[in-house]
A and B are shown apart, each in its own frame.
Chain A
Amino acid sequence: MNIKAKTNAISWSFIAVAVIMICVFYFYPMIQALIMSFQSGTGTNLSFVGLDNYKRLLSDTSFLTALKNTSIYLIVQVPIMILLAMFISVLLNDKNLKLKGFFRTAIFLPAVTSLVAYSVIFKYLFGPDGLINTMLLKLHIVNAPIEWITDPFWAKITIIIAITWRWTGYNMIFYLSALQNIDNSIYEAARIDGASSFRQFRSITVPLLKPIILFTSITSTIGTLQLFDEVMNITKGGPGNATMTLSQYIYDLSFKYTPNFGYAATVSYAIVILIVIFSILQFKLAGDKNG
Chain B
Amino acid sequence: MGKLKRFFMYLFLSIASLVSIFPFLWMIVSSTNRSIDVTQGKLLPGPYLGENLKKVFDTIDIVPALLNSAQISITTTILAMLIASLAGYGFEIFRSKSKDIVFSILLLSMMLPFAALMVPLYRMFGSISQTMPFIGIDTISSVILPTVTTAFLIFFFRQSTKMFPKDMLEAGRIDGLSELGVFFRVYVPTMKTTYAAAAIITFMSSWNNYLWPLVVLQSPEKRTIPLLISNLGSSYSPDYGVIMTVILIATLPTAIVFFLMQKHFVAGMTGSVK
Residues of A within 8 A of B (CB): 7, 10-12, 14-15, 17-19, 21-22, 25-30, 32-33, 36, 44, 88, 91-92, 94, 96-97, 102-103, 105-110, 112-125, 129, 131, 134-135, 138, 165, 169-170, 173-174, 176-178, 211-212, 215, 222, 225-226, 228-229, 232-233, 236, 246-247, 250-251, 254-255, 261, 264-265, 268-269, 271-272, 275-276, 279
Q: How far is the CB of B62 from chain A (nearest CB, A)?
A: 13
B254 in contact with A113 (CB, 8 Å): yes
Is the C-beta of B99 less than 8 angstroms from some C-beta in chain A? yes
The distance in angstroms between the C-alpha atoms of A36 and B119, with both chains bound, is 10
Residue of A18, A134, A135, A265 near B120 (CB, 8 A) is: A265
The distance in angstroms between the C-alpha atoms of A117 and B255, with both chains bound, is 13
Secondary structure of the A side of the interface?
helix
Q: How far is the CB of B87 from chain A (nearest CB, A)?
A: 4
Q: How far is the CB of B108 from chain A (nearest CB, A)?
A: 8
Is the C-beta of B134 less than 8 angstroms from some C-beta in chain A? no
B254 in contact with A226 (CB, 8 Å): no
Given known contacts A32-B124, A134-B41, what 4 new A-B pairs fall within 8 Å (CB)? A17-B83, A33-B116, A97-B9, A247-B115
B12 in contact with A91 (CB, 8 Å): yes
Question: Considering the complex, which residues of chain B in the window 74-133 have a beta carbon less than 8 Å from any beta carbon of chain A?
Answer: 83-84, 86-87, 89-91, 93-94, 96, 99, 102, 106, 109, 111-124, 126
Determine the chain A residues whose CB is within 8 A of the CB of B18 once the complex forms.
106
Interface size class of B (residues with CB under 8 A): 35 or more
Determine the chain B residues whose CB is within 8 A of the CB of A109 once the complex forms.
20-21, 24
Determine the chain B residues whose CB is within 8 A of the CB of A169 once the complex forms.
20
Stretch from B53-61, B163-171, B204-212 that touches the partner: B204-212
A251 in contact with B115 (CB, 8 Å): yes
Known: A21-B149, A120-B233, A212-B273. A112 touches B115 (CB 8 A): no
Chain B positions 167 through 188: 1 when the CB is less than 8 Å from some CB of chain A, otherwise 0? 0000000000001000100000
The residue among A36, A131, A225, A246 with the most chain B CB atoms within 10 A of its own CB is: A131
Residues of B within 8 A of A (CB): 1, 9, 12-13, 16-21, 23-24, 26-27, 38-41, 43, 83-84, 86-87, 89-91, 93-94, 96, 99, 102, 106, 109, 111-124, 126, 145-146, 148-149, 151, 154, 179, 183, 204, 207-208, 210-211, 215, 225-226, 229-230, 232-234, 238, 240, 243-244, 247, 250-251, 254-255, 258, 262, 265-266, 269-270, 273-274
Q: How far is the CB of A233 from chain B (nearest CB, A)?
A: 6
Residue of A18, A96, A268 near B84 (CB, 8 A) is: A18
Residue of B9, B17, B123, B208 near A32 (CB, 8 A) is: B123
B270 in contact with A177 (CB, 8 Å): yes
